[in-house]
Structure 1
């Protein structure tokens, strides 16, 4: 069975290093969600009667959407899928808090202030250059992080919805609860220390 994503050590530096943040999310999605069909195929029990040599002599279509037994599906969801989703949720929640908190260690704060001061002192003659009055200040790194977190949360919703549709189809889930409800139910069933919240 595929291993769930492991929650990295959460620090503000982890969040502000947006390459590392996005790499974690990308690797987690690629090992679980992007390969959901392969992960579910690995759960399917091969032919119980053994190999049939005549099966290679005829050309036929295989049923790609064969159902997987409920116990295997539930174990996959409980031990791999939901813990990986929870790890990504924890990272995005933490980085969202970092993005909305004051940032006294911003290395570009002095540079932004200098640019603003220089813009205030600038004399503009709009008759000579109508675009010279434009000023685009640098964004603070907390603003950049907030934008990235919003984008990644949108991606996360799309990825989880697609994954959940495939899981529901392959596992034969008759209730077909929304992924948000299923994840919330899983969270309730776990001890608080188990989901690292």
Structure 2
């Protein structure tokens, strides 16, 4: 699976999204804490209590190398569920990345640490640690359902989710799309127009006399 995840990360969010049939889009804006980072890995999901990060502490003993931690609450809110010390634990236990559908803080320290993190907000407002949530259950982020083990792909464009059983199929389609785009790019660099290559001239001008 690590080879598949590495290839999906290399292809990137846009290509994977298109190759998957435009499924699994996490339709929300996220701060890419570490510029230039891109990852893909099986989701390790965390459903916290509202404005509470007790379960983020609890999940650390379950983290396995290559996991992407997906941290959520019943409703997204600008409350910091992750800071430097939790990120240190995640990195130490081998997490490939972290997606936080809430806030992070300690931004400079997180960047220095280098663990790829995406967050809905950067805010210092602290979370409580009193409400027991759930681990390794399906969650929803940006309209996308993410089940434990689904592949989460993250880069500068955002995030997309690939159902675990479709990873090989989507990877094959992504590689084929990459090859088509490589050939298409050569034609554009030679001076041809997407207006013609996509048949769009006929759409715009075909009905005119």
TM-score normalized by the length of structure 2 = 0.20
Q: Give the number of the structure whose residues are more often strand, by fraction.
A: 2
Name which structure has the greater RCO, CA cutoff 8 Å, separation 6+. 1
Which structure has more helix as a fraction of its residues?
Answer: 1
Q: TM-score normalised to the size of structure 1?
A: 0.20
